[in-house]
Amino acid sequence: MNRNDLRRVDLNLLVIFETLMFEKNLTRAAEKLFLGQPAVSAALARLRDLFDDPLLVRNGRTFEPTARALAILKELQPAMDTISGAVSRAREFNPATNRDTFRIGLSDDAEFGLFPALLNQIREEAPEVVIVVRRVNFLLMSSMLASGEISVGVSYTTELPANAKRRKLREMKVKVLRGDDRPRPLTLDEYCSRPHALVSFSGDLCGNIDNDLARLNRSRRVVLAVPQFSGLRSIIAGTEMLATVPDFAAAALIEGTRLRADDPPFELVNSDLSMVWSGVTDNDPAERWLRSKIVEFMGEPGA
């Protein structure tokens, strides 16, 4: 196919193809593309004709991509990234009048402890933009960036897609949240013997804190796991239960309450809270502005 032949190809079909490959479900793809399911079904039929391949084969309630579909996706994605980047760089950005939709991935601690101040500033500078927050963690970040579900994410991170970029926002220091009325600081023995609550995205009952304790040949007694930080405020109040949380989440949790946040009675290996984004949006003026606000309001205080 030469360049003139490309005029016969609807580039919107390629966007739908990419979404279908990630979602493997017509309904979810339609929702993500803001289209009706019949329109996506019709597009899939046109794609099958264009590439002379079934592309997606039904397997129960989902579709599985064919080998040729996977090969096409591998070839198309870099080209679509290049086109998207070129179009993005060609436009100007004025936060006061812009009406973009920003899709941000946030870990629960970042959403609870740091996002409100960021949102207030965004609303002040760019009152017409729309913010969509998706819950992420280090397990989900890569796939959500790669699929375009988010353009930027804030979380503890590990492996990332090859075209992703990362910037450290702050070191994640921790505090021990407590709701008892005893004034003395916690000893290590008391920390280990008292019941603990933790926030667990997946429902696990251990985390990095337990690894730090294991290096001291100690352990804690976790009796409760909850899915988000906001519930800790009422759970901890007036009880013997402890919760070890990032310092910025602790500051938000104790505000206006009788809870307090102490330093842990042992040394920890702190992790980093990072901002990651797709290389496709690296030079997009709107995304650069958003990332600058994230650095300003989610980064290390005074940095």
Over residues 155-179, mean pLDDT: 87
The reply to whether 41 and 76 lie within a common domain is yes
At 260, is the pLDDT very low, low, confident or very high (cuts 50, 70, 90)? very high
pLDDT band at 91 (very low <50, low <70, confident <90, very high): low
pLDDT given for residue 164 in this prediction = 83
Q: Is residue 303 part of a domain?
A: no
**Strand partners of residue 134:** 105
> 166 and 185: one domain?
no
| Calpha distance 60→118 (Å, rounded) | 42
Average pLDDT of the segment spanning 263-290: 90
pLDDT value for 5: 58
The mean predicted confidence, pLDDT, of the chain is: 87
**What's the CATH number where 103 sits?**
3.40.190.10
Same-domain status, 168 and 287: yes
* Dihedral angle computed from the Cα positions of residues 117, 152, 158 and 74, in that order, rounded to the nearest 10 degrees: 170
Alpha-carbon gap, residue 236 to 180, rounded angstroms: 8
pLDDT of amino acid 158? 77
Residues 130 and 243 in one domain: no
Looking at 27, 60, 90, the residue that finishes a domain is 90
Portion of the chain with pLDDT greater than 90, in percent = 49
pLDDT at 155: 92
- Token look-up 């060609």 returns 90
28-37, 92-101, 104-113, 211-220: range with lowest mean pLDDT: 28-37
Regarding whether 180 and 65 lie in a shared domain, the answer is no
**Coil, helix or strand for 57?**
strand
The yes-or-no verdict on residue 64 having pLDDT over 80 is yes
234 part of a folded domain: yes
CA dist list (Å): 252 to 176, 267, 299:
13, 23, 16
Residue 189 has pLDDT above 80, yes or no: yes
**Domain end call among 62, 90, 118:** 90
Other Cβ atoms closer than 10 A to 262: 16
Both 78 and 192 in one domain: the answer is no
154's tokens: 């804030």
pLDDT at 253 over 90: yes
What does the pLDDT read at residue 89? 57
Domain hosting residue 213, numbered range: 174-268
